[in-house]
Amino acid sequence: MDLTNPVTQAFTQALPKIEPPSQLHAHLSGSISRQCLHEIWAAKKAQDPAFSIEDPWVIMPPGKVDYTLQTFFQVFSKSIYQLVTDAESIKYATTSVLNDFYNDGVRYLELRTTPRKSPDGSLSKEEYILTVLECISSFQPKSNQKKNQSQSKMTTNLILSIDRSNDTAADALETVNLAIAHRSKGIVGIDLCGNPSKGDVSIYRSAFEKARSAGLGITVHFGETASSGTKEELETLLSYNPDRLGHVIHVPDEVKEEIERRKLGLELCMSCNVHAKMIDGGFLDHHFGHWRCGECPVVLSTDDVGFFCSPVSNEYVLAASHFELSRKDILRICRKGIEAIFGGCAEKNRLWGLVDEFEGVKLESDKVDCVPSEADGCVVKTPRLEGGGR
């Protein structure tokens, strides 16, 4: 592969990607496409003409990406959580999300979701989680044109989330217990998420201590807003010994130094942060520019692609365009980001192998695509890095 060629959509879609949450940071409910939500709504409306929930296409019209945090959480409570409520809709939505990530070139996915009961009581929190896990284990892509089995495989693991705006300390412990009970089915970690303007994160210490003792990975939403970026809250979250941090927007310099010292994995969500106005300015002002050359593994993530309509392949294009990254830079970021996954040594080695294999491939199509404008809204094998080092 000629690494001097520009970074294009064809390049980033072919790149074997990780979705931490980015990318390893992907919320199940927020990753459901508007088309999928509309289909679920239409099926329920046909079954029950009196179904009172509004068509998602009305409150999430095509092209709309400018969701503030307030309107963002309102859509969840008024629409998504009222539509995806039973085993059938959960399976339909989860399968759709998995297929979307697969078709975008994701080959390692850590999907996250908060255990929740169905409104009518037909599903318990545990049954909800087991339904999602069943979808993951039985997932078969709709189309698979690759002959290489290692290239065609997408490993998907699950992270269970604690919702700071709703969950009590007892709820958080219940979530951790569910993760421990079903970790053999593919649960790899615990997340702290929810409306950052609500809740007291200090009440979850026992839950995170238990998760850490059980060997689960820990990731937390960190400094999303000024109100959740106080030194007291950030120090509390760091005291839970997280492996990764999500967003890391409102972070004072001394805390940044501690993050660097620990070499924590960073889940950075550019389109989400820009469109939701979580940062001041546009893509070029995003803190990806600060972190990308440091010691911390950086993983570009979609956060909620159903809202912000930017798949992870486009996040790489945006990063390359606004920060003048070469293909060599993108491959370096991708290789280093693999260090932050919760999937274990064998999976890390598989992913490093995929990136090495990809670098030696000549792409069938390598045309320069238009980049969306800002207005558009363990002992493991050492990965090979250009110029040496990790």
Residue 103 CB neighbour total at 10 angstroms = 15
Q: Are 7 and 368 in contact (CB under 8 A)?
A: no
Largest CA distance in the chain: 64
Percent of the chain with pLDDT over 90: 73
Please state the φ and ψ torsions of residue 112, each to the nearest 5 degrees.
-125, 145
pLDDT for 37: 96
Running DSSP on this structure, what letter comes out for residue 303?
B
Instruction: Answer whether 0.85 is exceeded by the pTM.
Output: yes
pLDDT-based confidence at residue 389 (cuts at 50, 70, 90): very low
pLDDT for 77: 86
**Is residue 283 scored above 70 in pLDDT?**
yes
pLDDT for 150: 47
Q: Determine the 3-state secondary structure of 26 from DSSP.
A: strand
DSSP 3-state helix, strand, coil percentages of the chain (rounded to 5)? 45, 10, 40
Q: Give the pLDDT confidence of 47-95 residue by residue, as tens digits.
A: 999 999 999 999 899 889 888 888 888 888 889 999 999 999 999 999 9
Running DSSP on this structure, what letter comes out for residue 246?
E
- What structural domains and CATH numbers belong to the chain? 9-359 (3.20.20.140)
pLDDT-based confidence at residue 7 (cuts at 50, 70, 90): low
Q: Is the dihedral of CA 47, 48, 49, 54 positive or negative?
A: negative
For 251-295, the three-class secondary structure string (H helix, E strand, C coil) is CCHHHHHHHHHHCCEEEECHHHHHHCCCCCCCHHHCCHHHHCCCC
End-to-end CA distance of the chain: 21
What single letter denotes the amino acid at residue 310? S
Distances (CA, A) of 341 to 131, 145, 271, 305: 23, 26, 22, 20
Residue 43, token pair as written in the block: 């099926």
Nearest to 246, CA basis, from 323, 319, 301: 301
* Beta strand extents in the chain (DSSP E only): 17-19, 26-27, 106-113, 155-163, 187-193, 217-222, 244-247, 265-268, 298-300
Distances (CA, A) of 223 to 189, 232, 278, 299: 20, 11, 10, 17
pLDDT-based confidence at residue 142 (cuts at 50, 70, 90): confident
pLDDT for 161: 98
pLDDT-based confidence at residue 369 (cuts at 50, 70, 90): very low
> Whole-angstrom Cα distance, residue 316 to residue 295?
19
